[in-house]
Structure 1
Amino acid sequence: MHVLITGASIAGPALAFWLHRHGIDVTVVERAPALREGGYCVDIRGVALEVVARMGLRDALRPLEADTLENMMVDERGRRFGRTPRGFGVIDPEDVEILRGDLARVLYEATREQVRYRFGDSVAALRQHDGGVDVTFAGGDAATFDLVVGADGVHSQVRALAFGPERECLRAMGSAMAIFTAPNHLGLHRQQLLFTGLRRVASIKSTNGDRDLMCAVFFAHRDRFDHRDVPAQRRLVAEAFADAGWEFPRLIAAMQRADDFYCDLTCQIRLPTLSRGRVALVGDAGYCPSPLTGQGTSLALVGAYVLAAELARSADVSTALRRYDERVLPFVRRNQDIAWKLGDGYAPDSAFQVRVRRLAMKLLPYMPGSSFVMKLAMRGVREASRDLELPAPMHGARAGGGVAPGSMATVTSGQV
């Protein structure tokens, strides 16, 4: 069996890892000319930790963890308060917090010698038939695959080709987010600062050995948004934080120069099924939960594991994809529903809400059982992250994943 995966961030290489482990031939195509570095910290928690353990990559990730010592709130005058231990996204001690680019590199290095990677290209057209999927690449080559998997993010080209327009599955959550790197002029040492203002929120974390600041900003936005218009996105961020005070003038100036700037709507991708014929979706392409719970990476890792396991267990692709839906979609929905509820009050809508939230964070470190209070507040996220039983590990690989010999991909033009 030969599978084409589009996207070489998290979901794509993770799926490639497991497909190869099950004896399935894999090609990964990535639009970018090289592996994408950068990105904010992502979290691995719940059942996804077991996936990483089964991959044998836990030790490889350990030295790359963000290892934030503490986080605290900061206001528009620079006053810091509400100091609590560890990074804000770490719910349980075993959780992994790591830069997205570092995790992507570990997954790539674990697969690069067994999997074909094709950088600087993308899928331009798909045609499904009984024998597989004919793929035309933007570079001009064509090939036939037994299965095509879109792991190419929220704005997935594969999803658009096989499932229809993005507007039919994208649910905007009333805000936008931006991520960028700035010099560490604040002198943070393994620290994270959280800012809450009127209709805006920011997280500033030291990174790269405390040389830089990794900035993630959220702001209310309900108007039209073009995810391809980067200059317009920079203007939106600058306008949203123009009067935010503190160090934001300097941070926004750094944002204008940042070469790793990324901005998009906070949104979810909701589909009734994760496959159409011989085209399937994994990760944000199929079920982005939004960044509000930090569960996107964990869902991608778990979805990749389950999809590969079902393909290896079944002699029929359609049966495997149906079982993938049945296992993963309930897990996805529970995690998405929690993020949707959090989105309603993520950025305060009034000055009163800002004051109440700041007062609560000021008092939290002095409250008896403050760590228990934080755990209670995040209980829904924790429980949702564990709400799936992984298929048991398979011993030994089934070459072709149960598909009859002779169904390997046929390259009709160029070399894949």
Structure 2
Amino acid sequence: MDVLISGASVAGPALAYWLNRHGIRATIVERAEKIRPGGLAVDFRGTAMRVLDQMGILDELRAHATHSGDARVVDADGNQIAIMPGEIFAGELEVLKTDLTRILYDLTKNDTEYVFGDSIATLTQDADGVRVGFERGATRTFDLVIGADGLHSRVRALAFGPKERFTQHMGYAFASFSTDNYLSLDRMGMSHVSGDRSLNVFASKENTELRVLFMFPAQDVPRNREAQEEAIRTAYENVGWEAQSLLARMPAATDFYFDELSQITMPSWSTGRVTLVGDAGYCASPMSGRGTSQALLGAYVLAGELSTQDSHEKALAEYEHALRDYVAAAHELGRQARDSFTIPVSQELFDAFAAADMGEHSPDEVALKNYAARVH
């Protein structure tokens, strides 16, 4: 079997790893010229930790842990009003996304064909395969095409239809960037909530940097940086605490990122020989805190089913069956986090969120087949 994966962030390389272990050839096409640095911190919990262990990269990731502690929630004058337990946003293990993507690339680069600086332009299916036209490269045919290309998936648009058909806007946008740790935070965070918008900072890179996260109401999301920065300044012009200092530092950031907060809901993740994994098929929004875990579990299950079923139709059906409930739970967590903006900040609120993530009934404990025991 010869599989094309679109996207080299998390889901794509993780899927390539498992396909390779199961003896299935994988090619990844990525429109960027190289693996992209930057991005938010990402965290892992429950079953995702066991998948990382089976991939052999858990110890390496632990060496890059952010060691984020709790976050102090403060009012407009910087007075503490609550403590946000670290497990809410950092899980069992938190790393910077740039470290995760580099580790996944290094893990797969010798066994996977990476095609950088290109993207899929057309998809034509027939009984024997998928004919893929590229923006730059020559047309090729694959047995399967898998979209691991995120919220704005090109594969989803080509194979299933316009993004708007499957997107549930959550009414918010978010932006992130890094700056120097001028607040001298020591492995901790600080957060300020002003009505329906929040401002969060977390110490990172051995306390040398601050990771900054703005989250605020937005319906029309601009696509160029100048307009994005202006939208943030407008949203936070009357917000206290460190808002104005951080806005002043924003233009100098080299890792600025901005996007809408949306969920992707689809009646099926597959059509013929094309399927989706991770945010492309079932984005729960960064508010859920489960996007990276969904990508890892989706990759593990999809590759496992393709290696054990006697047809791709059965494999894709079983892949979806195995993960539908988990994805639905992650979506619900995302909606609950969004709705929490309408609830006054209190210690009881954060303690309730932390308690919901614990124990045998945690949504992060997912019963999956042991595909790793069946590798070639």
Give the shorter-chain TM-score range.
over 0.9
Residues 181-210 of structure 1: CA distance to partner in whole angstroms, max 9, x if unpaired?
Answer: 122111112111111111101220111222
Give the corresponding residue for 1:393.
371
Q: Conserved in 1, the CA contact under 8 Å of 2:356 and 2:362?
A: no
Q: CA deviation at 1:27?
A: 0.6
Give the corresponding residue for 2:363.
384
Q: Conserved in 2, the CA contact under 8 Å of 1:73 and 1:195?
A: yes
Measure the CA separation in 2 of the matches of 1:380 and 1:270. Answer: 28
Q: Superposition pairs for residues 72-87 of structure 1, below 5 Å?
A: 72-83=72-83, 86=86
Contiguous gaps of at least 5 residues in structure 2: none
Q: CA deviation at 1:74?
A: 2.0
Measure the CA separation in 2 of the matches of 1:230 and 1:160. Answer: 24
Q: Which protein, 1 or 2, shows the higher relative CO under an 8 Å CA cutoff with sep ≥ 6? A: 1
Change (3 A) 1:165 1:380: farther
Q: Conserved in 1, the CA contact under 8 Å of 2:71 and 2:85?
A: yes
Measure the CA separation in 2 of the matches of 1:276 and 1:23. Answer: 24
Residues 12-44 of structure 1: CA distance to partner in whole angstroms, max 9, x if unpaired?
Answer: 010000000000011111111111111111111
Give the corresponding residue for 1:413.
none
What amino acid does structure 2 have at the position aligned with 1:267?
Answer: S
Give the corresponding residue for 1:310.
305
Measure the CA separation in 2 of the matches of 1:284 and 1:381. Answer: 26
Measure the CA separation in 1 of the matches of 2:88 and 2:316. Answer: 36
Q: CA deviation at 1:106?
A: 1.1
Equivalent residue in structure 2 for 1:230, among 225, 230, 251: 225
What amino acid does structure 1 have at the position aligned with 2:364?
Answer: S
Q: CA deviation at 1:67?
A: 0.3
Give the corresponding residue for 2:48.
48
SS at match of 2:226: helix
SS at match of 2:108: coil
Q: CA deviation at 1:396?
A: 5.1
Change (3 A) 1:382 1:342: farther
Q: Conserved in 2, the CA contact under 8 Å of 1:67 and 1:86?
A: no
Whether 1:280 aligns to 2:275 is: yes
Q: CA deviation at 1:170?
A: 0.6
Measure the CA separation in 2 of the matches of 1:394 and 1:66. Answer: 28
Measure the CA separation in 1 of the matches of 2:127 and 2:103. Answer: 36
SS at match of 2:122: strand
Measure the CA separation in 2 of the matches of 1:266 and 1:142. Answer: 34
Measure the CA separation in 2 of the matches of 1:172 and 1:231. Answer: 23
Give the corresponding residue for 2:155.
158
Q: Conserved in 2, the CA contact under 8 Å of 1:125 and 1:136?
A: yes
Measure the CA separation in 2 of the matches of 1:257 and 1:136. Answer: 38
SS at match of 2:292: helix
Q: Conserved in 2, the CA contact under 8 Å of 1:270 and 1:286?
A: yes
Equivalent residue in structure 1 for 2:328, among 319, 322, 333: 333
Residues 349-398 of structure 1: CA distance to partner in whole angstroms, max 9, x if unpaired?
Answer: xxxx5xx41xx23x89xxxxx97x56435459972111x31111354545
Q: Conserved in 2, the CA contact under 8 Å of 1:39 and 1:101?
A: yes
Whether 1:301 aligns to 2:299 is: no
Residues 45-99 of structure 1: CA distance to partner in whole angstroms, max 9, x if unpaired?
Answer: 12111111111111111111110233211222122343466464135xxx11111
SS at match of 2:150: coil
Q: Conserved in 2, the CA contact under 8 Å of 1:177 and 1:266?
A: yes
Q: Conserved in 2, the CA contact under 8 Å of 1:67 and 1:87?
A: no
Structure 1 vs Structure 2 CA RMSD = 2.0
Q: CA deviation at 1:262?
A: 1.1
Whether 1:148 aligns to 2:148 is: no
**Which structure has the bigger radius of gyration?**
1
SS at match of 1:384: coil
Q: Conserved in 2, the CA contact under 8 Å of 1:177 and 1:216?
A: yes
Q: Conserved in 2, the CA contact under 8 Å of 1:181 and 1:213?
A: yes
Change (3 A) 1:341 1:374: closer
Give the corresponding residue for 1:195.
192
TM superposition score normalised by structure 1: 0.86
Fraction of identical pairs, as percent: 40
Q: CA deviation at 1:295?
A: 0.6
Whether 1:89 aligns to 2:93 is: no
Measure the CA separation in 2 of the matches of 1:263 and 1:137. Answer: 27
Whether 1:219 aligns to 2:197 is: no
Q: Which moved more, 1:303-312 or 1:237-246?
A: 237-246
Q: CA deviation at 1:330?
A: 2.1
Give the corresponding residue for 1:135.
132
SS at match of 2:49: helix
Q: Which moved more, 1:334-343 or 1:282-291?
A: 334-343
Change (3 A) 1:397 1:63: closer
Residues 301-350 of structure 1: CA distance to partner in whole angstroms, max 9, x if unpaired?
Answer: 000000000000012111111111111122211221232233223x24xx
Residues 132-172 of structure 1: CA distance to partner in whole angstroms, max 9, x if unpaired?
Answer: 00111111421100001000000000110001000000100
Q: Report the count of equivalent residues.
A: 376
What amino acid does structure 2 have at the position aligned with 1:203?
Answer: N
What amino acid does structure 2 have at the position aligned with 1:265?
Answer: E
Contiguous gaps of at least 5 residues in structure 1: 365-369, 399-416
Change (3 A) 1:101 1:156: same
Q: Conserved in 2, the CA contact under 8 Å of 1:68 and 1:87?
A: no
Measure the CA separation in 1 of the matches of 2:225 and 2:183. Answer: 27
Q: Conserved in 1, the CA contact under 8 Å of 2:198 and 2:216?
A: yes
What amino acid does structure 1 have at the position aligned with 2:195?
Answer: L
